[in-house]
Amino acid sequence: MVSSISLSIDSDLDKVSLLARAVRALCEDLLGPDDQDAVELSLVEAINNVIKHGYHGERGKDVQVAVGLQADQVVIEVIDHAPPMPAQVLDKAPEDTFAFDEADLADIPEGGMGLALIRMNMDEVEYHSGDSENRLRMVKRIAPRSQ
């Protein structure tokens, strides 16, 4: 089975949960509850990043999400027309984000965790920026059903 759907929202943080819940529902038959959680969180983090950092919180910009349901994987692409993510953000290893010293209050992160969470929750994460759009491609593989 291969099917795909495109969804879009206005760049408004209040609308992100609506889209995330819709995509979660699309994955219900293919992924177990933990993997649905992983997809929902990754998608929310990806869209929040676009709205907060790409569009600087400005409403009225578009955020598109393409969902591909395949036999062995779910592919989710978040497409925006904001300035691209800076290279230093993309280069940071996810484990470094959470290697803080819990005994030192000042060292515990309050932000900058989104991309690390996406990388830890998805099986593949790729970012492409072209002339007119950025595309974050996230893949969750479907675990084979145990008999």
Residues in 80-99 that interact with another protein by CB under 8 A: 98
- Please tell me whether residue 54 binds another protein under the rule CB under 8 A: no
What DSSP letter does each residue of 43-91 carry, written as one string?
HHHHHHHIIIIISTT-SS-EEEEEEEE-SSEEEEEEEE-SPPPPHHHHH
Contact 84, 109 (CB under 8 A): no
CA dist 19 → 44, 91, 130 (Å)? 9, 28, 24
- Please tell me whether residue 33 binds another protein under the rule CB under 8 A: yes
- Please tell me whether residue 46 binds another protein under the rule CB under 8 A: no
Q: Binder to another protein among 60, 110, 130, 145 (CB under 8 A)?
A: 110
Half-sphere exposure of residue 25, counting CA atoms within 13 Å on the CB side? 7
- Please tell me whether residue 10 binds another protein under the rule CB under 8 A: no
Q: In this structure, what DSSP letter does residue 10 have?
A: E
Describe the strand order of the beta sheet including 134-141 as a list of residue ranges. 3-10, 62-69, 73-80, 134-141, 124-129
Q: Binder to another protein among 51, 74, 125, 136 (CB under 8 A)?
A: 51
Residue 52 or residue 141: which is nearer to another protein going by CB?
Answer: 52
- Please tell me whether residue 78 binds another protein under the rule CB under 8 A: no
- Please tell me whether residue 25 binds another protein under the rule CB under 8 A: no
* Site residues (vs another protein, CB under 8 A): 13-14, 16-17, 33-34, 37, 40-41, 44-45, 48, 51-52, 98, 100, 102, 105-106, 108-111, 113-114, 117, 120-121
